């Protein structure tokens, strides 16, 4: 089994490659893993086409939801995007918070930060910034963020509990998050879990839905709500890279499910040592 550092290095390497891939290739695979399907298109991503602030140049087709659509961002808010990639969700968030607010994107892949900064410069947005950093140790001051968003990123992080603790730390009391992510119901076949490509492609890094929600609760958040849930159907032509015919049939006939969920939760509106503001 790979160590946390080895998994992070794998994701960093893979997403540096993904940054140079065509969007269509990313959207026909599992979060840009490279295992593209000829059977279906747009395996995980939702369409941003009708959303204010969307710009195709910044969309690498790596998401699994529309967290900004559910994030209740108000004008003047300070918004933080975890795993900001080329800046797509940051620019949508900026349209919602307006020039009165501020948007910060954090990503640990240097080429993604470079692409995002170029995209921000093209748009002349002086209240959107991108910081190189690990979302397990956010380069953000405590109690300064109104809204946290993230799109298909936490499933790639080995220590998800640590990320939720960091989100709690940086949010202001009463602040909230809306996060889209991949979760499981039931256990994936071992051959899928062991594949590096599938880890970098979101699926084998995902955890059980109930475990995911429990991590949010034990981290100190309240008002936890699943805002959207949809099944992710991985096409046979991708699964056959990892499963033989017998294993594929067993998997498809099992109760195992892969889902995209968008989850909302609040930081309590009081200062205590537990929620990071005392």
Domain that holds residue 179: 4-275
Distance CA 85, CA 186 (A): 30
Q: Which two tokens stand for residue 63?
A: 């998401």
The 3 state secondary structure assigned to 124-158 is: CCCCEEEEECECCECCCCCCCEEEEEEECCHHHCC
Closest CA to 80 of 146, 132, 143, 137: 146
Distance CA 137, CA 170 (A): 11
Distance CA 132, CA 130 (A): 7
Q: How many domains does the chain have?
A: 1
Q: What is the pLDDT of residue 199?
A: 46
The DSSP annotation for 11-48 comes to HHHHHHHHTTS-HHHHHTSSTT-S---SS-S-SSPPP-
Closest CA to 146 of 223, 75, 51: 75
The DSSP annotation for 154-182 comes to GGG-S-HHHHHHHHHHHEEEEEEEEEEEE
Chunked in runs of 10, what are the mean pLDDT values of the chain (278 residues)? 70 67 46 45 58 73 87 98 94 96 96 94 95 97 98 90 98 97 84 59 77 97 96 79 84 82 95 65
Q: What is the pLDDT of residue 149?
A: 98
CATH of the domain at 194: 3.40.50.150
Exposure class string for 162-178: b at 16+ Cβ within 10 A, else e: bbbbbbbbbbbeebbbb
């Amino acid at each position: 089994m790979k160590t946390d550092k080895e998994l992070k290095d794998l994701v960093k390497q893979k997403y540096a490659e993904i940054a140079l891939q065509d969007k269509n290739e990313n959207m026909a695979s599992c979060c840009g893993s490279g295992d593209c399907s000829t059977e279906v298109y747009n395996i995980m991503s939702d369409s941003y086409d009708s959303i204010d602030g969307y710009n195709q140049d910044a969309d690498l087709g790596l998401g699994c939801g529309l967290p900004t659509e559910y994030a209740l961002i108000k004008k003047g808010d300070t918004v933080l995007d975890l795993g900001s990639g080329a800046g797509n969700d940051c620019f949508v968030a900026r349209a919602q918070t307006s020039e009165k607010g501020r948007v910060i994107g954090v990503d640990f892949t240097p080429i993604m930060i470079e692409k995002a900064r170029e995209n921000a410069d093209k748009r002349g947005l002086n209240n959107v910034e991108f910081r190189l950093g690990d979302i397990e140790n956010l380069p953000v001051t405590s109690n300064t963020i109104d809204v946290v968003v993230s799109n298909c990123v936490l499933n790639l992080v080995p220590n998800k509990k640590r990320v939720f603790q960091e989100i709690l730390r940086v949010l202001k009391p009463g602040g909230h998050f809306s996060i889209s992510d991949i979760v499981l119901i039931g256990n994936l076949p071992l051959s899928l879990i062991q594949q590096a490509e599938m880890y970098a492609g979101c699926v084998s890094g995902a955890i059980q839905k109930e475990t995911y929600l429990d991590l949010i609760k034990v981290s100190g958040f309240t008002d936890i709500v699943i805002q959207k849930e949809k099944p992710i159907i991985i096409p046979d032509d991708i699964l056959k890279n990892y499963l033989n015919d017998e294993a594929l049939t067993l998997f498809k006939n099992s109760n195992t499910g892969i889902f995209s969920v968008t989850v909302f939760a609040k930081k309590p509106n009081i200062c205590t040592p537990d929620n990071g503001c005392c």
